[in-house]
Structure 1
Amino acid sequence: MKCSSLSPGQLAGLRDGIVTVDSHTAGEFTRLVVGGLDDIPGDSMAVKRAYFQQHHDHLRLMLTREPRGCGGVAAVVTPPVHPASKFGLIYMDAKRYPFLCGHATIGAVVTLVRTGFLEVHEGETRIPVDTPSGTMETVALVTQGKLTSVAMQMVPSFVLETDRLLEVPGFGTLKIDLVCVGGFFAMVSSEQTGIDPVMAHRRVLTELGMKIIEAANEQVEVFHPQRPEVQTVDVVEFYAAHADDAGQGTGLVVYGEAHVDRSPCGTGTAAKLTLLHHRQQIALHQPYVNSGPLGTAFEARLVRRLTIGGFEAVVAQVSGMAYVTGVHTFLLDDDDPFPQGFLL
């Protein structure tokens, strides 16, 4: 019998059989769960997220941690919860369940188009996606029969506080800006750290970033006026100093279990534009190119203003592209000493 003809059911002592399609968005990994799960009940994505966390958290650990994962984001495709939406997403990484993930949303749309789940046509195809932070509008752009980019209108974002002093062990006093895009970012200018946000400095920035996250959650109280479940700082974004009207910038994002986002970070790009607009350094509809630590970039702009619970908010549009890298069936041996993976 050829190995290529094997199915999971023929492998004795193995279970689960979770099917994923992996991709990368501007260099950042996404593992999209497309098969092997029973229906996830719930009339909202927040309820579905809570159900998965309660009943399937072992799968998050198995798929995101070594020896099967790499600490990056995985996402589960679900039926939509709104009639106009095409599908829903539950995001997860090696530490938590993010409320929103931009690069993974791009990866999911590209994957579902490439696998035939979503139909697109020449020009722009509107694809609403349900997330734990609300419905997010995405648009797939097809040029001469080829999918070339996915644009997302992110959920509304706002600045909670600027120039908040934080005592960071091993570093000292640091100013952070708190921006919410689904969940909360601690924004840190490289002018303060003296460290450029590039891949060569990833180790020192990762260590500092995790200390900032821990210190922020000990010293700062954050809240979302409409979503009480959002009450922690989960991500740090180090960004290079911005010149007014420059129209471009660079940054490095740290999240999860000391993971560096290889992409410019979709939600991080929205967070940066939200902060720059708050500081009157970028205008509505002004194009902006945000580059990540690998030199890959997302194109972005702010498309509208609104108010959320008394806070001035904006909606950012972020565009990028993803590339499918593999199709996998993940199995668990009954005798595997690492059923929930491990972290180094």
Structure 2
Amino acid sequence: MRDLGLKGDRLAVIDMHTAGEPVRIFDATELGVAGETILQKRRAMSDRFDHLRRAMMLEPRGHADMYGAILVLPSDPSCDAAVLFTHNSGYSTMCGHATVAVGRFLYDRARRQGGTQTRFSLECPCGPVVIEVSPDRDHDAAPVVQFESVESFALELDDSIELNGFGRVSFDIGYGGAFYAILPSSRLGLDFYQTPLDQLIGAAGELVAQLRATRSFRHPEEPDLSFLYGAILTSGERLIPGGLTHNLCWFGEAQIDRSPTGSGVSARLAIAHARGEVFPGSALPFAGPSGQIFDGGVARPTARGIIAAVSGRAYYTARSELILEDQDPFAHGFALPNRFGDLLP
């Protein structure tokens, strides 16, 4: 495209989706995101370069449910790449659907450079994740990308809380790189398949708000991972090999994952394993609101929980250059206000 002579930053991005959930990939390896660890780089990105996250995630270049993966230089020399996960309100510690997309991106980049690498170690804020890419027999089809996540575990089983409008509600807390409150929607008196989606979303948001206000969630090793990321309402079926189950994941600040949520699948598997319901070697299909499937299973048990293996396919949707004009009042994005009164001086 001919240079328009505009003044401002330019951001080259690759847009992908995994099971319908967007992933906007931005290579920030030359941006100078400093830090001796990936969590330090996560804080540095937030402190120094958050205007770039906002520009990529928020309107008018993004939207309320946008998601992103920012590539940075690895802090761990054993890792092939490092990533910071982003969304409309900040930075995730783990994201399965984005890991699948980044896995395909790394595989395709290696092929373009003449390489044949199919196994990658990806440094994530929650820890290193191992990715295996399996090309399809149909060379035109997207490869299957599987990742083995960090240790997943059940933090709490059968906890409960008095929830406004729903009475006493029981739930589990699972960790799959991030903490989730997990429960069948039936415990809220809602039929998963017949209740309008906005009602399920509202109930999940109410639960997250109440838990964040009244509970603390401590990761056993890292304070930066000690927060409730969201809630997952399930269709309620027991996890059995070949038996499809559905997730609705509410995360961040009211974002809804279109995919089954890879970190959520890992957390669900950890909870089921803690209950003695799943074992290594079983393939379990999960679907989110898009209807597209992730396969999940227990790769192996650990002292605290499990290592989960999750697989899916990611697809390219666009390659573009975002323009941040100097005089644009929304160069760094904006979000819709809760009420017009918020716009008043």
Using structure 1 for the length normalisation, give the TM-score: 0.90
Q: Deviations over 1:93-152 (max 9, x none)?
A: 11121101010111112123334577664xx82111001111100001123456521000
Instruction: Tell me if the contact between 2:239 and 2:284 (Cα under 8 Å) persists in the aligned partners.
Output: no
Residue 290 (1) aligns with residue 308 (2): no
Paired residues for 1:1-344 under 5 Å: 4-6=1-3, 10-12=4-6, 14-34=7-27, 38-70=31-63, 71-116=65-110, 121=116, 125-144=118-137, 145=139, 147-197=142-192, 201-243=196-238, 245=240, 247-248=242-243, 249-307=245-303, 312-344=304-336
SS in 2 for 1:31: strand
SS in 2 for 1:257: coil
Query: What is the CA RMSD across the aligned residues, in angstroms?
Result: 2.1
* Amino acid aligned to 1:159: A
Gaps of 5+ in 2: 337-345
Identify if the C-alpha distance between structure 1 residues 37 and 57 changes in structure 2 by more than 3 Å, giving closer, same or farther: farther
8 A contact 2:219–2:225 mirrored in 1: yes
CA distance in 2, matches of 1:200, 1:20: 37
Distance 1:280 1:206 in 2: 29
Note the C-alpha offset of 1:230. 2.0
Relative to structure 1, is the Cα distance of residues 84 and 211 closer, same or farther in structure 2, using a 3 angstrom cutoff? Answer: same
- Rounded to whole Å, the distance in 2 between the matches of 1:292 and 1:81 is 33
1:18 positional shift: 1.3
Structure 1 stretch 128-137 or stretch 279-288: which is displaced more?
A: 279-288
Q: CA deviation at 1:303?
A: 1.0
Residue 202 of structure 2: SS of its match in structure 1?
helix
Q: What count of residue pairs does the alignment treat as equivalent?
A: 331
Amino acid at match of 2:37: S
**Conservation of the 8 A alpha-carbon contact between 1:164 and 1:175:** yes
State the distance in 2 between where 1:178 and 1:120 align: 41
Q: Distance in 1 between matches of 2:194 and 2:250?
A: 12
Q: Is the 8 A contact 1:247 1:289 kept in 2?
A: yes
Task: Pick closer, same or farther for the CA change 1:291–1:231 going to 2, 3 Å.
Answer: same
1:144-199 alpha-carbon deviations (Å, 9 max, x no partner):
45652100001101111112212323333211211111221010212212434459
Instruction: Name structure 1 gaps, 5 residues minimum.
Output: none
SS across alignment from 2:34: coil
Answer yes or no: is the 8 Å Cα contact 1:198–1:293 preserved in 2.
no
User: Does the aligned pair in 2 maintain the 1:19–1:36 contact within 8 Å?
Assistant: no
> Partner of 2:268: helix, strand, or coil?
helix
- Quote the sequence identity (%): 27
Aligned equivalents of 2:309 and 2:287: distance in 1? 15
Deviation, structure 1 residue 233: 0.8
1:106 aligned counterpart, secondary structure: helix
Aligned residue identity for 2:307:
V
Q: Which amino acid aligns with 1:34?
A: D
- Alignment partner of 1:254: what SS? strand
Q: Provide closer, same or farther for how the CA distance between residues 52 and 198 of structure 1 changes in structure 2, counting only shifts above 3 A.
A: farther
TM-score scaled to structure 2, two decimals? 0.89
In structure 2, distance between residues paired with 1:119 and 1:86: 16
2:223 alignment partner, SS class:
coil
SS of structure 2 residue aligned to 1:229: helix
**What residue identity is the alignment partner of 2:203?**
L
